[in-house]
Amino acid sequence: MAHILKNYDDDLSALKDSVVEMGTNALAAIEKSMNGLTNGDRDLCLDVIEEDEAIDQQEKRIDEQGMGILLRFNPVATDLRQVLSSINICRSLERIGDHAVTIAKRSRKIIRAGVLDEVRLVEPLFVEARKIVSVALTAYSDVDETMALAVIEMDHKVDKIHKGLGKVLSQKISEAGQDTESLLNLIFIARSLERIGDLAVNIAEDVVFVTSAEDIRHT
């Protein structure tokens, strides 16, 4: 029995490690795509696009790990919630990776078109999006409900910055005449950053589900 329990604990620990590793890679993809934009580095953006397959494969492996635990050990209570939430979180992380790819692709188009001074306007939104994902991952790793609830509050700031940025960029588009493609791409980048914030909230909600068995979605 002790051997079985050790295997069980080891598998739960390995599942968490896999999710944290995937989260680290998704966060790095966001950072790399935005660094590509701000530094005018198309190759850096291309790296994000090419590395997305690795994040997709991590999602598949985590699904397999989680299903393996469910089938072998039939966990209950907190352990069951941890496995189910880990599977949900890896899906949110895969979508964060997809948004990093979107940012990278849009950034390559902006860079190809030439210098765009308005790129700097996205920096505050990027800083907050990166921060909220980082805090959400720490909340998951530490099983910290208080930190998870803080993520949900932090998203209000992300939404506020995004809304203000949208107004500024829309105004610039109306003033720019025909040359608006790069500004439109920047609006799509801002939208991806806002959605990354929403996905961080999803992660935080899953952490709360683990700690309290409470489903706080849509509340």
- CATH number of domain containing 26: 1.20.58.220
What's the pTM? 0.94
- Over pLDDT 90: what percentage of the chain? 88
What is the overall mean pLDDT for the chain?
A: 94
Segment 49-72 mean pLDDT = 96
Which residues in 14-28 are b (16+ Cβ under 10 Å) and which e? Answer: ebbebbbebbebbbe
Residue 110, pLDDT score: 96
> 55: closest CA among 2, 1, 18?
18
Residue 204 lies in a domain: yes
Which residues in 118-155 are b (16+ Cβ under 10 Å) and which e? Answer: bbebbeebbebbbbbbbbbbbbbeeebbebbbbbbebb
Residue 218 lies in a domain: no
Residue 97 lies in a domain: yes
**Where does the pLDDT of residue 108 fall: very low under 50, low under 70, confident under 90, or very high at 90 and above?**
very high
Residue 152 lies in a domain: yes
Quick: pLDDT tens for 148-159: 999 999 999 999
Segment 173-202 mean pLDDT = 92
pLDDT at residue 214 greater than cutoff 80: no
Name the token pair of 66.
Answer: 């989680």
Residue 217 lies in a domain: no
pLDDT at residue 177 greater than cutoff 90: no
The more confidently predicted of residues 5 and 129 is: 129
Segment 110-131 mean pLDDT = 95
Segment 103-130 mean pLDDT = 96
Residue 160, pLDDT score: 98
Name the token pair of 169.
Answer: 């960029």
Residue 117 lies in a domain: yes
Residue 178, pLDDT score: 59
Quick one: CA torsion of 79, 84, 90, 96, rounded to 10 degrees? -120
Instruction: Give, to the nearest 10 degrees, the angle between helix 2-39 and helix 77-113.
Output: 20
Name the token pair of 62.
Answer: 């985590």
Q: Which domain does 7 fall in, by range?
A: 2-212
- Over pLDDT 70: what percentage of the chain? 95
Segment 104-120 mean pLDDT = 94
How many domains does the structure of the chain reveal? 1
